[in-house]
Amino acid sequence: MLAFLARSVVYGVLVAAVLLIAIPSLRNAQLLPEATLATFETNNSLISYNYAVRRASPAVVNIYTRRYSAENRLQLNAEGLGSGVIMSDKGYIVTNYHVVARADQIIVALQDGRISTAQLVGKDQRTDLAVLKIELENLPVIPFNDSYEPNVGDVVLAIGNPYNLGQTTTFGIISATGRPGMSFNRQQDFLQTDAAINKGNSGGALVNSRGELVGINTASFQQATDVDTYGISFAIPYSLTLRVMQKLIADGRVIRGYIGVEGREVNPVMARLLDAEQLRGVLIASMEPSGPAATSGLQVNDLIIAINDKPISSFRNALDIVADTRPGTKVPFKVIRGGQPIDVIVTIGEEKLQ
C-alpha cells in the first residue's frame, strides 16, 4: 500500500513538473500582458488608468482664442476655447479646425503653468484639423505607437478642457471604427467612442490604456431633434492626423489629388454582368465631363482594378490613393473595359474645396 502511494506521489510530481515546463504562465499567476500591467495596480485590487493619464496629460494643452472687436479693431474679445495636443518637441500642436477657424489670436496654456501665443501653421476644413506652433523649450510630447490599430472594445481616455473647467479625463471604449460622413468630408472615417467629449474637449487627445495617442477628439453626436443623445462621440484617427499634420507643416494647406469620378464597388454579380473575372474593384458610375479622368481617357462603366500598380478594394481605397498623389502626376490606371484589361495614364488634378 505504501509503495502504491509513493508511486502516485512521484507520478503526480512528474506530471506537475511537465505542465510547468510546457505552460510557463502557470509558474506565476501574477504574469499579465504588458498592456494589462500598464493599467493594473494591486492597491485594494483596483484597476487604475493613472499610468496612461500621467504619460499623456502633460502634452494636452488648453487653447483660448480671441477676435478683434468689430467696433474697435484694437480690442480683442474672447472668442472660444478648445484643447490641443503637442505632437513634436519643436512646438507643433494639433487641434481642430473649428477651434481656431475664426481666431485673430491664439493662446496656449500648458499643464505646467506656462502660457504662450501660438502661430497658425495651417488648417484643413475637410478633416477639421489645424496645426499651431509655439516657441517654448522642454515640451512634453504625446506618446505614439505607429503599430497600434484601434479595435472595437479597446479602452480609451479622452483628455481635454471641457467648459474651461480645467484638464479633465473621461473614460470609455472604442464603440466603432470607420464611421463616415460626420464632418466636412463625407469619405472621412472616424473613431466612435462613448468617452464623453464636450465643448472645450475639441482638439484634445483620445489615448489608449498605455497613454498612446489614438485620435484627436472632434465632436459629439447631436440630433436635429429635442431628443438628448449620450455616449456617441467621434475622434479623428491618429494615422490621418499625422498625414494631415505633415502636409500642413510642409505646404500650409493640404493639397489633394482629384480625378472627378463617382464610383461604386463591384460585387460578384456585377462582375459577371461586366464579363470580368476580377471580383474586386470600383465601377465608374459617372464623371465630370471636363475632369481629369475624362480628359485622360477613362470612361463610364470602366472597372478600375488598380491604381499605380496598387490593387483597389473599395471606392474609399481608390479615393485615398488619388488624394495622396501630388496634382500633375501621371498615374497608370488598370481598368477592365468590355471584358478586356487596358491601361490608361491619368494626370491627377487638384481638388478644390467648395
State the cell numbers at 329.
Answer: 502626376
Residues 206 and 315 in one domain: no
C-alpha to C-alpha distances, 153 to 34, 104, 189, nearest whole angstrom: 17, 40, 17
Tell me if 132 is assigned to some domain.
yes
In the Cβ-directed half-sphere of 238, how many Cα atoms lie within 13 Å?
19
CA distances from 120 to 129, 255, 277 (A): 12, 17, 51
Q: Are strands 310-311 and 303-307 parallel, antiparallel or unpaired?
A: antiparallel
pLDDT-derived band at 70, boundaries 50, 70, 90: confident
Res 89 pLDDT > 80: yes
**For the ranges 70-84, 157-171, 335-349, which has the lowest average pLDDT?**
70-84
Mean pLDDT of 67-92: 84
Write out the residue range of the structural domain in which residue 325 sits: 257-350
Asked if residues 108 and 63 have their Cβ atoms less than 8 Å apart, the reply is: yes
Which grid coordinates are listed for 350?
487638384
Q: What residue numbers does the annotated binding site cover? A: 259-264
**Window from 51-65, 107-121, 187-201, 242-256 with minimum mean pLDDT:** 187-201
**Lowest-confidence region among 26-30, 43-47, 281-285:** 26-30
Q: Among 71-80, 192-201, 262-271, 272-281, which stretch is predicted with the lowest mean pLDDT?
A: 272-281
One domain for residues 222 and 277: no
Please tell me which residue in 128, 154, 302, 320 is annotated as part of the active site: 128
Do 229 and 326 lie in one domain? The reply is: no
Q: Of the residues 209, 224, 254, which one is the last residue of a structural domain?
A: 254
- Banded pLDDT at 65 (limits 50, 70, 90): very high
Least confident range from 178-182, 241-245, 248-252, 327-331: namely: 178-182
Q: Which of 200, 221, 254 is the last residue of a domain?
A: 254
Of 57, 183, 202, 209, the catalytic one is 202
Work out how many domains the chain is built from and give that number. 2
Options 83, 98, 154, 302, the catalytic residue: 98
Whether residue 313 contacts residue 330, with contact meaning beta carbons closer than 8 Å, is answered with: no
Residue 2: inside a domain: no
Bind-site residues for substrate:
259-264
What is the predicted pLDDT for the residue at 111? 95
Q: Report the pLDDT averaged over residues 211-238.
A: 75
Answer yes or no: is 18 within a domain: no
Q: State yes or no: is 98 an active-site residue.
A: yes
